[in-house]
Structure 1
Amino acid sequence: MKEQLDLYDVTIIGGGPAGMYAAFYSGMRDMKTKLIDANEKLGGRMLIYPEKMIWDVGGVAPTLCEKLTATLEEQAQTFEPTIVLGQQVERLEKREDGTYLLETLSGERHWTRTIILAIGRGILKMAKLELEGAERYEVSNLHYTVQELEPFRGKKVLISGGGNSAVDWANELEPIAEKVTVVHRRSQFGGHESHIAKMMNSSADVRTPYEVSRLFSSNGEAIDQVTISHTETDESETIVVDEVIVNHGLKSDFVGIKDWSLDMDDWNVFVSPKLATNLPGIFAAGDFAYFESKLNLIAGAFTDAGIAVNSAKLYLEPEAARMAYVSSHNERFKEKNKALGVVEA
């Protein structure tokens, strides 16, 4: 029996900010669009930090990450793209007619004329605390991400890590926790300079270069003390804690995409100014795409997405307009404006 597959103009792999905006913008370009994401929810890396405040999206007041994610998801569905969740794309097959077949780990197949890779840092997994028995406390008070701030109110919180996440959570929790202790195995922090300065000038107890070396539990269910050790002198100290947050970074897995013969390094695919990869008809956007003037912000992901979609459109239709008309003049929004009760002049 011959397999029947719908052919899409563009298939976007990845449901973070770049992927969601690409799904919206490809609708502006009247492209038949599919978005595939390995997670069960759209949002990509934004799902890890729902209670962080996002300040750097143009024209948007400081907004909770969770709220911005919901707004982006609503926008992504404006032109009713096909959205497939819980499928992790692994294999790529180029057909004789120039189209592509994508196959997921679970065996589903998707047929497309072009592809936009918006996979960020790949399938992300939190780097775990490498201490024997640590996993038993993951159900109580050992955290690898923070979903809500309120449970930490009035608590003694220890944060292990030195990147953006560790610094940001120290600043978020310092006003509401009884005490925040930050432990980092290096002397220098890797977060944004202004955020580091804010943490260093707060009441947070910052210990460097230290690392967590032992966990204690009086009841066997939750951590109540932590031993931290100086990485150079082996000097150690035991601290009473209520909650432990570990931000040791993320481990990335690009699954089979690394076997597609893309021009890439461990983290990024190298693209042209038109966001084209070295494979015809395959483009990239967001954190996964690298080019010389790259802007690693959510706002930059939106621009990447628009350029990648325009490039995919022109790849399919070389005589098409270089970009979509702005929404105030785009025919595709006339009926939608009427539905919103907007009377156009």
Structure 2
Amino acid sequence: MQHVYDVTIIGGGPAGLYSAFYSGLRGLKTKLLESQPQLGGKVLLYPEKLIWDIGGHPPVLGEQFVKQLIEQAKTFDPTILTGTKVDLIERHNDIFVIHTAAGEKHYSKTVLLAVGGGIISPQKLTLEGAEKYEMSNLHYTVQSYKRFVDKDIIISGGGNAAIDWAVELSPIAKSVTIVYRKENLSAHEATVQEALDAGVRIECNTTITKLSANIDKTAIQLVTCENTITKQSYTRQIDEVIVSHGYSREASLAFDEAIAIPKKDDYYVEGKATGETAQPGIFAAGDILSFDGKINLLLGTFQDAANAVNSIKTYLEPTAYRHGMVSSHNELFKEKNRSIIEKQFAPAH
């Protein structure tokens, strides 16, 4: 049998990554399993969006924030496996057996669920042949603003993400047009007004009905749109197409019959602010966890993670301190602090 870990964290987004750091801080033997090839969770969808609402932290790009989270998570050398999709969790006496889609088994004394909203994937444009343009100028997320400089852009979608991208791209693009199938956008009014003030063209009751390729068939050159009420169509030349129709969620994680955890909306785990669930040994943190007073922001995610890990520590060691010691007085950081200070004040050569 493989090594048995004190805690296995399922999910490598902000909740899982901070939990990995904090569990190391509390001296727990830790493993983290992430289904995607990369760590970072939903933040990876918005690598160039600025994150403002992290306490004491200046605005930081999503991509940089993920890098910092990963570096922090590795502080105490947890075992981290990406591309590892968990299908089933079983309980054998005091040990949880975690089964993966690849047929592997992982063994752990506790499990920390940090799977957020599940495995998400963008809802694709349902037009024949659209997939062939995904490697050129059909986008389901904005990875880099540079490619949109001085371009004519059309964005399909009326939610907050679509409008946010329109606002952020409008200063660098030649033009930005939003098309939305309904009569009114579903984004926040203030953001919609910001888009209008930035010169974004908004066309409601409008859908994309056809994509036409350039002469060498490698990219979209023309987009045909139709008014859903009048049925009138028009075709315009375009450089880049962004589709923001939301995300589908795969909630494939299952438990054996011996593990019963109440859920909210058939997905989110009902629990406590301490990260405890109704099932002893299974804890949760981040978006997956539902409780009264929940804060669905990054700052709430970090508190969830710390609370869950502290609960795990006392579950495994009932006489342990309920909370971890602050870093300024924690023996674990003395050597690390000394190394950082020495580098900071080392004489320049």
TM-score (structure 2 length as normaliser)? 0.92
Q: Which residue of 1 aligns with 2:241?
A: 244
Q: Which residue of 1 aligns with 2:262?
A: 263
Give me the whole-angstrom Cα distance separating, in 1, the residues matched to 2:13 and 2:188.
Answer: 22
Give me the whole-angstrom Cα distance separating, in 1, the residues matched to 2:294 and 2:18.
Answer: 17
Deviation at 1:267, TM superposition (A): 4.1
Q: Which residue of 1 aligns with 2:32?
A: 35
Aligned residue type for 2:47 = P
Deviation at 1:266, TM superposition (A): 4.2
Give me the whole-angstrom Cα distance separating, in 1, the residues matched to 2:205 and 2:6.
Answer: 52
Structure 1 residues 5 and 212, CA gap change in structure 2 (3 angstroms): same
Structure 1 residues 190 and 288, CA gap change in structure 2 (3 angstroms): farther
Percent sequence identity over matched residues? 47
Deviations 1:169-215 (A, max 9, x none): 11111000100001122233333454333113211101113221222
Which blocks of at least 5 consecutive residues in structure 1 are unaligned?
Answer: none
Aligned residue type for 1:316 = L
Give me the whole-angstrom Cα distance separating, in 1, the residues matched to 2:342 and 2:308.
Answer: 31
Q: 1:171 aligns with which of 162, 167, 181?
A: 167
Q: Which residue of 1 aligns with 2:152?
A: 156
Q: 2:83 aligns with which of 82, 86, 89?
A: 86
How large is the RMSD of aligned CA atoms in angstroms?
Answer: 1.8
Q: Trace 1:1-345 onto structure 2 (pairs within 5 A).
A: 4-96=1-93, 98-219=94-215, 220-257=217-254, 261-264=260-263, 265-341=265-341
Aligned residue type for 2:247 = L
Deviations 1:256-288 (A, max 9, x none): 337764322344222222222222211111111
Which blocks of at least 5 consecutive residues in structure 2 are unaligned?
Answer: 344-349
Give me the whole-angstrom Cα distance separating, in 2, the residues matched to 1:34 and 1:318.
Answer: 21
Q: Residues 273 and 304 of structure 2 are in contact (CA less than 8 Å); yes or no, is this contact kept in structure 1?
A: no
Give me the whole-angstrom Cα distance separating, in 2, the residues matched to 1:173 and 1:26.
Answer: 40
Q: Residue 308 of structure 1 aligns to a residue in which SS? A: helix
Deviation at 1:24, TM superposition (A): 0.6
Aligned residue type for 2:262 = D
Give me the whole-angstrom Cα distance separating, in 2, the residues matched to 1:194 and 1:312.
Answer: 42
Give me the whole-angstrom Cα distance separating, in 2, the residues matched to 1:30 and 1:257.
Answer: 29
Give me the whole-angstrom Cα distance separating, in 1, the residues matched to 2:260 and 2:181.
Answer: 37
Aligned residue type for 1:89 = V
Give me the whole-angstrom Cα distance separating, in 2, the residues matched to 1:197 and 1:270.
Answer: 37
Aligned residues: 339
Deviation at 1:234, TM superposition (A): 2.4
Structure 1 residues 50 and 330, CA gap change in structure 2 (3 angstroms): same
Structure 1 residues 228 and 104, CA gap change in structure 2 (3 angstroms): same
Deviation at 1:236, TM superposition (A): 2.8
Structure 1 residues 194 and 292, CA gap change in structure 2 (3 angstroms): farther
Aligned residue type for 1:197 = Q
Give me the whole-angstrom Cα distance separating, in 2, the residues matched to 1:196 and 1:295.
Answer: 25
Aligned residue type for 1:57 = I
Q: Residues 226 and 232 of structure 2 are in contact (CA less than 8 Å); yes or no, is this contact kept in structure 1?
A: yes
Structure 1 residues 193 and 301, CA gap change in structure 2 (3 angstroms): farther
Q: Residues 96 and 108 of structure 2 are in contact (CA less than 8 Å); yes or no, is this contact kept in structure 1?
A: yes
Give me the whole-angstrom Cα distance separating, in 2, the residues matched to 1:44 and 1:286.
Answer: 11
Give me the whole-angstrom Cα distance separating, in 2, the residues matched to 1:306 and 1:196.
Answer: 37
Give me the whole-angstrom Cα distance separating, in 2, the residues matched to 1:270 and 1:240.
Answer: 50
Give me the whole-angstrom Cα distance separating, in 2, the residues matched to 1:279 and 1:63.
Answer: 37
Give me the whole-angstrom Cα distance separating, in 1, the residues matched to 2:294 and 2:183.
Answer: 29
Give me the whole-angstrom Cα distance separating, in 2, the residues matched to 1:13 and 1:240.
Answer: 45
Aligned residue type for 1:253 = E
Structure 1 residues 315 and 188, CA gap change in structure 2 (3 angstroms): farther
